[in-house]
């Protein structure tokens, strides 16, 4: 098979690739900080800057000219559409082609002629037909024609002066219609219905068509007197699928729950009872710690210790708490009663409860009393525990002595051990009165020889309980 020759350009690129790979391991790596550091830029001369400015200006002029040509071409197409489809001007079709919004960006001022017509029409209508609306009169165009003659006969200054108050009233009325809340339920319903539909169908749909942005619009009523039902608008089915997948419910169900939440009168999740209790606890803790830090100056205390207040606060800083209103001295975080928290807060804010630093003689008396109380407690504990243990040991010794004397008199000489009888112990049981001890031979069928065998280590009582453990005595060889 003939060898396939590689083009020269390919051979050069392969050689360059292998050269790069061969030197990649030996080349020093650049640190991340060095990569982020600003690189030194070459300082341009005045001539180079002038050339760059000229190049930029030329590029901007060429781009502007090209864009203007494109806009002229689009405007030509808009004019062709206005001729082919009469009824709209070229500007309408230009906005359609460019997909521009029709939302007005600004509003016109109140015209002096409109103000003059509004004020004089009310006067004429009230004089001719009291109680009738100017909009319902058939002679409204005639009134406008008569007022036009009077308007044309006035100068510019007279027009502006005569319509100043009316123009202010019309501007206030326009602002009221735009920003003031609707008080009539049916007006609010129509306003919300048309505004939401106009916003969703026109503007949001156009934004989605132009940019592909997904939008979910949910509108619910916040007043029970209103008539509008929950309105949900999604730009595509993907938004609804996301709700069903993530929240396990549809967007319409979410709108129902949102409407119920708004109508329930709940101002927020964080205003419930639990949040109020936690906020109250935090506030009381801050007040107590602040008061403690103030009274402890110049010493610094970083946390309040309620469980060991005497040891950690009073013993170290000679500070006591006076006027605690509750029965138990504990942290506010351990109090769950709203009434007790309110009482504790009022006590600290009014000064009934406060911290006080003890004087040297007071602190000495407090330390002595604390030491005496601790000493009495330790002595009382020793008196209740030590005598009991001593009496038990004495009773066991007396029982052992009685048992050994009984064993020596009752066991046969043939079965007696070779060891001294004083070191042997017997598994005999003694009654509670200690008057008539019973030997092991009479209590159980165990052979008498086993009674004389002492345990391997320790002393065994009559009841079989090991009292003390001793190590076996070592024998010399």
pLDDT in tens, 258-285: 888 888 765 555 566 778 888 889 999 9
Domain check: are 292 and 335 in the same one? yes
Average pLDDT of the residues in 443-447: 40
d(CA 303, CA 286): 10
Domain check: are 313 and 395 in the same one? no
CB atoms within 10 A of CB 428: 25
Q: Which pair of structure tokens corresponds to residue 225?
A: 């007197």
Judge residue 438's burial from the number of C-beta atoms within 10 Å of its C-beta, 0-12 exposed, 13-18 middle, 19 or more buried. middle
| Domain count for the chain | 3
Q: Over 60: is that where the pLDDT of 297 sits?
A: yes
Question: What pLDDT, on the 0 to 100 scale, is given for residue 468?
Answer: 42
The band of 65, judged by pLDDT with boundaries at 50, 70 and 90, is: very high
Q: Which pair of structure tokens corresponds to residue 219?
A: 């509108």
Q: Would 131 be classed as within a structural domain?
A: no
Average pLDDT of the residues in 370-389: 72
Helix axis angle, 46-84 to 90-98, nearest 10°: 120
Quickly tell me which residue has 């509750």 as its tokens: 326
Q: Over 90: is that where the pLDDT of 150 sits?
A: no
Lowest-confidence range among 88-97, 102-111, 238-247? 102-111
Task: Identify the helix (H) or strand (E) that includes residue 447.
Answer: none
Give me the phi and psi of 466, to 5 degrees please: -80, 120
Q: Would 239 be classed as within a structural domain?
A: yes
Judge residue 232's burial from the number of C-beta atoms within 10 Å of its C-beta, 0-12 exposed, 13-18 middle, 19 or more buried. buried
Chain centre distance of CA 356 = 38
Contacts of 285 (CB under 8 A, 6+ apart): 304, 331, 332, 333
Domain check: are 373 and 467 in the same one? yes
d(CA 448, CA 410): 9
The band of 141, judged by pLDDT with boundaries at 50, 70 and 90, is: low
Which domain does 335 fall in, by range? 273-358
d(CA 465, CA 88): 116
Give me the phi and psi of 322, to 5 degrees please: -115, 140
* Domain boundary residue, one of 217, 251, 266: 266
Q: Would 253 be classed as within a structural domain?
A: yes
Q: Would 397 be classed as within a structural domain?
A: yes
Question: What pLDDT, on the 0 to 100 scale, is given for residue 413?
Answer: 38
Lowest-confidence range among 184-193, 224-233, 427-436? 427-436
User: Is the distance from CB of 408 to CB of 437 less than 8 angstroms?
Assistant: no
d(CA 320, CA 309): 9
Question: What pLDDT, on the 0 to 100 scale, is given for residue 31?
Answer: 75
User: Is the distance from CB of 206 to CB of 96 less than 8 angstroms?
Assistant: no
Lowest-confidence range among 55-59, 359-363, 431-435? 431-435
* Domain boundary residue, one of 243, 266, 289: 266
Domain check: are 381 and 451 in the same one? yes
Average pLDDT of the residues in 67-73: 93
Q: Can you give the CATH number for the domain in which 314 is found?
A: 3.90.1460
User: Is the distance from CB of 347 to CB of 323 less than 8 angstroms?
Assistant: yes
Q: Would 44 be classed as within a structural domain?
A: no
The band of 299, judged by pLDDT with boundaries at 50, 70 and 90, is: confident
The band of 95, judged by pLDDT with boundaries at 50, 70 and 90, is: confident
Domain check: are 229 and 281 in the same one? no
- List, for residues 24-55, the tens digit of each pLDDT value: 555 566 777 777 777 777 888 999 999 999 99
d(CA 294, CA 315): 18
CB atoms within 10 A of CB 242: 14
Cis before 304 (ω within 30)? no
Q: Which pair of structure tokens corresponds to residue 325?
A: 């209103």
Domain check: are 208 and 302 in the same one? no
What does the mean pLDDT of the chain come to? 74
Q: Over 70: is that where the pLDDT of 10 sits?
A: no
* Domain boundary residue, one of 317, 332, 358: 358
Domain check: are 374 and 436 in the same one? yes
Domain check: are 288 and 235 in the same one? no
Domain check: are 335 and 378 in the same one? no
Q: Report the percent of the chain where pLDDT is more than 90.
A: 12
User: Is the distance from CB of 347 to CB of 291 less than 8 angstroms?
Assistant: no
Domain check: are 452 and 384 in the same one? yes
Instruction: Considering only the C-alpha atoms of the chain, give the largest distance between any 2 of them, rounded to a whole number of Å.
Output: 160
339-373 in b/e form (b: 16+ CB < 10 A) is eebebbbebbeeeebebeebeeeebeebeeeeeee
Q: Would 438 be classed as within a structural domain?
A: yes
Q: Would 332 be classed as within a structural domain?
A: yes
Domain check: are 227 and 287 in the same one? no
Q: Over 50: is that where the pLDDT of 67 sits?
A: yes
Q: Please write down the HEC assignment for all residues of 310-374.
A: HHHHHHHHCEEEECCCCCCCCCHHHCCCHHHHHHHHHHHHHCCCEEEECCHHHHHHHHHHHHHHH
- More confident of the two residues 363 and 19: 363
């Amino acid at each position: 098979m003939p060898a396939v020759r590689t083009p020269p350009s390919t051979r050069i690129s392969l050689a360059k690739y292998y050269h790069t790979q061969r030197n990649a391991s030996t080349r020093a790596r650049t640190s991340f900080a060095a990569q982020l550091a600003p690189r030194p830029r070459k300082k341009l001369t005045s001539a180079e800057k002038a050339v760059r400015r000229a190049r930029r200006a030329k590029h901007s002029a060429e781009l502007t000219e090209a864009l203007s040509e494109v806009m002229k071409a689009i405007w030509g197409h808009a004019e062709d559409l206005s001729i082919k489809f009469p009824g709209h001007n070229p500007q309408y079709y230009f906005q359609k082609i460019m997909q521009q919004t029709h939302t007005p960006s600004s509003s016109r001022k109140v015209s002096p002629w409109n103000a003059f017509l509004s004020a004089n029409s009310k006067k004429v209508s009230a004089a001719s037909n009291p109680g009738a609306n100017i909009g319902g009169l058939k002679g409204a165009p005639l009134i406008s024609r008569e007022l036009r003659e009077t308007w044309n006969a006035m100068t510019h200054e007279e027009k502006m002066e005569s319509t100043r108050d009316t123009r202010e009233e019309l501007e206030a009325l326009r602002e009221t219609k735009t920003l003031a809340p609707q008080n009539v339920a049916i007006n609010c319903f129509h306003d919300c219905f048309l505004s939401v539909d106009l916003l969703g169908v026109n503007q949001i749909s156009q934004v989605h068509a132009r940019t592909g942005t997904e939008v979910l619009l949910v509108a619910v009523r916040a007043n029970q007197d209103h008539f509008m039902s929950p309105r949900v608008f999604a730009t595509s089915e993907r938004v609804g699928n996301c709700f069903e997948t993530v929240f396990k419910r549809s967007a319409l169900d979410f709108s129902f729950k949102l409407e119920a939440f708004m109508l329930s009168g709940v101002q927020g999740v964080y205003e419930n009872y639990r949040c109020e209790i936690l906020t109250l606890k935090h506030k009381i803790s801050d007040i107590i710690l602040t008061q403690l830090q103030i009274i402890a100056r110049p010493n610094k205390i970083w946390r309040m210790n309620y469980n060991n207040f005497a040891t950690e606060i009073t013993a170290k800083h000679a500070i006591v708490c006076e006027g605690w209103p509750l029965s138990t001295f504990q942290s506010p975080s351990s109090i769950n009663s709203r009434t007790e928290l309110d009482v504790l807060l009022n006590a600290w804010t009014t000064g009934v409860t406060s911290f006080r630093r003890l004087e040297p003689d007071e602190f000495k008396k407090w330390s002595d009393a604390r030491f005496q109380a601790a000493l009495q407690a330790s002595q009382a504990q020793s008196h209740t525990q030590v005598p009991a243990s001593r009496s038990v040991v004495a009773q066991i010794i007396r029982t052992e002595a009685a048992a050994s004397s009984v064993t020596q008199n009752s066991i046969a000489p043939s079965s007696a051990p070779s060891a001294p009888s004083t070191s042997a112990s017997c598994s005999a049981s003694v009654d509670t009165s200690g008057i008539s001890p019973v030997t092991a031979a009479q209590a159980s069928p165990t052979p008498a020889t086993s009674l004389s065998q002492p345990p391997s280590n320790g002393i065994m009582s009559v009841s079989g309980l090991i009292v003390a453990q001793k190590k076996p005595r070592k024998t010399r060889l």
